[in-house]
Structure 1
Amino acid sequence: MNQLDNIISDRGSRYSVSGGVAETREAAEALLKELKRNKKYAKATHNTWAMILPDGTPLKSDDGESGAGMVIVRMLEREELLGHVIVVTRWYGGKHLGGDRFRHVQDAVTAYLSAFFRGG
């Protein structure tokens, strides 16, 4: 599993991003389960994830962060990245972020793609 820890902080909320190869929903759920073995991630407010199956079917879970899964799906579609799940984790800091939360999800996915796919 690939991970970038504590990459974004805003008004007390912290974000990390993780991911790995997943050809099926079961593989994505197994990766999420592995991630949550770490108590820090198990206690996170949101573990939003998305992937696109090899046949092109998008799967996502907002995990309470309404709309965030679709942000990840759109980015995966743009990259044409199939069979790979990306999880954006948020620890809520006590202040609402409004629309900035979508920008943070986008920035987290961009950081992940840069680190693990674009040689950045």
Structure 2
Amino acid sequence: MQVFEAILSDRGSKYAVSGGPVGNRAEAVEFVKTLCKDRKFAKATHNTWGAVLDEGPIKNDDGESGAGMVILRMLEREELRDHIVVVTRWYGGKKLGGDRFRRVQDAVRYYLDHRDPQG
């Protein structure tokens, strides 16, 4: 599991991005559970995620409607399979509107650019 904390902020909201290899839906769900064992991530407003698996794409918006699809599209374009990416947001008090999708894209791009390709 790779975790990149405090990678960006926008109007008080703070973002982190995490990811790692998963082989199926159960492993993806377990990945998020493991991440949320860290109290900081458990208290986040959203832990949105996506993964492209052999069984098909899976995602969870965790209340950030549409964000899981943004993650999936980026993973599909990169052809990154059997790998989960989780974008975590701590709400800062101001609504971001459509900019929230740009921040999700920024977080996923950060992960893709900085992840260890070995894991």
TM-score (norm 2): 0.95
- CA distance in structure 2 between the aligned counterparts of 1:80 and 1:38, rounded to whole angstroms: 29
Structure 1 consecutive aligned stretches of length 4 or more whose deviation exceeds 4 Å:
none
SS of 1:37's partner is: coil
SS of 2:80's partner is: coil
Give the CA deviation at 1:54.
2.5
SS of 1:65's partner is: coil
> Kindly, what percent of the aligned residue pairs are identical?
61
**For residues 11-35 of structure 1, what are the alpha-carbon distances to aligned partners after superposition, in whole Å with 9 as ceiling and x for unaligned?**
1100000011001011011110110
Other-structure match for 1:33: 33
Other-structure match for 1:104: 103
- CA distance in structure 1 between the aligned counterparts of 2:71 and 2:108, rounded to whole angstroms: 7
- CA distance in structure 2 between the aligned counterparts of 1:68 and 1:43, rounded to whole angstroms: 18
What is the one-letter code of the residue matched to 1:18?
S
**For residues 44-101 of structure 1, what are the alpha-carbon distances to aligned partners after superposition, in whole Å with 9 as ceiling and x for unaligned?**
000000001124x110000000000000000001011110000000000010001110
Task: In structure 1, list runs of 5 or more residues that go unmatched.
Answer: none
Task: In structure 2, list runs of 5 or more residues that go unmatched.
Answer: none
SS of 1:34's partner is: helix
User: What aligned pairs does 1:1-120 form with structure 2 within 5 A after superposition?
Assistant: 1-55=1-55, 57-116=56-115
TM-score (norm 1): 0.94
- Number of corresponding residues: 117
